[in-house]
Chain A
Amino acid sequence: MTIFEAAFGFGLVSMSVIAIAAVGFTMQFGITNMINLAYGEVMVSSAYVAYSLNRAGVSIWIGMIAGGIFGAVFSFLLNRVVYAPFQRKGTSYLGMVIVSLAISLMIANILLPIVSYNSVSYAEHAGSIIRFGGVVLTVNQMIIIVLAVALMVGIHALLRYTRLGKAMRATAANPSLARNCGIPTQRVIDMVWLITGALCGVAGVVAALNSDSFAIASGGGFLITALAAAVLGGAGQPYGAMIGAVIIGLMTELTAAAWSAEYKEVVAFAILVLVMVLRPQGLLAKRGALAAAG
């Protein structure tokens, strides 16, 4: 069944894209307690930053780095200027969800006059084709996969072997205790927004590169897949998000091969609903968020 082998190849690529996005999203949630629904819009904004550079003749990979930097700075400012003041005032979780939703709408509508609502795509040669049996990938897709693996290993190393990672885990587990132990939680949280923002920006560019074209309206789809992967793996758990990305990436591409490409997001959603029905306790478990998993 060559179509399924080909779909498996696409699945590898989309799981890489989803993993980058979902790990960033879930770390924001796990450490800062913030369900950032503006995540998809930040991804799209970063994709547009890379697009404007790409239009000027810069390679998309340099554009991707720029997108990552933009995502980091943007997310950092978003937290400092908007989210943190609300959290200091003691806004409820639900209130924060509404705030982030409002932010996502604002970003989308600010983007609208700047880039217009038309779909655009990167001018980048897809590169030559590499075959592994029935799996056919372009060089660009290989780069995306390698990049995702490198980023995941990097996140793992960060959380496991560095002082910053330890501080992040401590902050996630118990912020006030962490502060009492002398961990500068404010600086840790700033670092979290920078790192997850960079992941978000890079994810936006690779997601845009992986789909034929993108537009402002793509933000919703980006957000949902990241959200589904993050929730599937257990909200706040980076390793869970990686597993969730693998499942959702493969499932969506295999259904696209077996059924219809339009229903990719619907499948992601169906998985999400199943998890919410069958394992809501997994969703509710906020404790141990970011504790080293296995």
Chain B
Amino acid sequence: MNTYYATNLLVYAGVDIIACLALNLQFGVSGITNFALIVFQAAGAYAAAVLSMPPSSSPDYSFQLYVGGYNLPFPIPWLGGALAGAALAIPVGLVVLRKLRSDYQAIALLVTSIIANTVITNARTFLNGAAGLALIPQPLDTQIDPRSDTYSYFFVGLTAVAVAVVWMIAARIVNSPYGRTLRAMRDHELAATALGKNPVQLKMTVFIVGGAIAGLSGAILAGYITAWAPSEWLYPETIILFAAVIVGGRGNNLGAILGALLVPVGFEEVTRLLAAARLRGRTGWLTGRCSSQRTSTGASRACRPWTAFRSRCHEGRSPA
């Protein structure tokens, strides 16, 4: 098996596991239907991108417009991504989680997701609009050649460490008295309130922690595929993660991981193999990583503007 394909799959699995753990914390354990989860992932990805990229005035980057550009070394973009996710969760949570009934919360978050995408797509000077950011530096790419197999294994290792840390945090939260409180709130909010728990405060906390975790997943993804654009985070992406958490068993961290391996990774890779069997020899499914990652953006990304499933790699071909 091609190294690229295998490591590519492992990194995506790691990113999906982290995102599913965040969603499980919010939706599975606490009952917050966060239809905007992908926006937090996107915030983390954009934050990591502008933290690690040089300013847009520098010669190699002048074809795109973006704010910031701080050229910071490796761990900071990832931490910044997590912070961005958490920071975004505060205003959104304050608007959505305080008074609205649960079905309105879900709709408000869904609308947030669609509108955030519209705004970023149209505000070209902020994060380069629809074309998105490209040439995002990879973690430690000055130390190890990012095109080598060693780097692929190294990135898988980094992702695995992130998954382990997130897993430990999530497990601590779920298996603690605090986790029991969250489950009590999910199952019977009125009763939990009667016992002196403050549901708004609990929801806000979980929303922020989940936002930070989702932001981290975005930072990892942006550092791996080296490009990030609005078409990467259309709202159907959130629905895939919901499917993963529901299939795996909501409220159970192990279930979230299983779901992440089954739905976004398993189903999509199986269907990819089906397509490959049909078009044997023509498609580049074994080449794994994006052919567009070293070019600017645009054309290859425009080929699948609206599909439910995340386009794993921008292979620059129309859907089969």
A-to-B contact residues, CB < 8 Å: 35, 37, 93-94, 96-98, 101-102, 105, 108-109, 112, 117, 215-217, 220, 224, 227-228, 260, 262-263, 265-266, 269, 272-273, 276-277, 280, 283-284
Contacts and interface: CB of A to CB of B under 8 A. Distances in A.
B100 A109 contact: no
For chain B, which range describes its interface: under 10, 10 to 19, 20 to 34, or 35 or more residues?
20 to 34
B103 A273 contact: no
Sorted from nearest, which 10 A-B pairs have the closest CB atoms? A262-B122, A280-B99, A93-B103, A269-B115, A217-B306, A94-B103, A94-B102, A97-B106, A97-B103, A220-B114
B182 interface: no
Interface of B: 33, 35, 95-96, 99-104, 106-108, 110-112, 114-115, 118-119, 122, 235-236, 239, 242, 305-308
A276 B95 contact: yes
A224 B308 contact: no
21 contacts: A93-B101, A94-B106, A97-B33, A97-B103, A98-B242, A101-B239, A108-B306, A109-B307, A112-B306, A117-B305, A220-B114, A227-B107, A227-B111, A260-B122, A263-B119, A265-B115, A272-B111, A273-B95, A276-B95, A276-B100, A280-B100
B306 A266 contact: no
A105 B306 contact: no
Contact of B115 (A37, A224, A277): A224
A57 to B, nearest CB: 29
A227 B99 CA distance: 19
A93 B242 CA distance: 17
B78 to A, nearest CB: 30
Nearest to B121: A262
A266 B99 contact: no
B243 to A, nearest CB: 9
A269 to B, nearest CB: 4
B306 A97 contact: no
Contacts of A97: 33, 103, 106-107
Given A109-B307, A217-B306, A280-B100, 15 more contacts: A35-B107, A94-B102, A96-B103, A97-B107, A98-B33, A215-B306, A227-B111, A265-B115, A269-B112, A272-B108, A273-B95, A273-B108, A276-B99, A280-B99, A283-B101
Contacts of B33: 94, 97-98
A105 B239 contact: yes
A108 B308 CA distance: 9
Nearest to A108: B306
B257 to A, nearest CB: 22
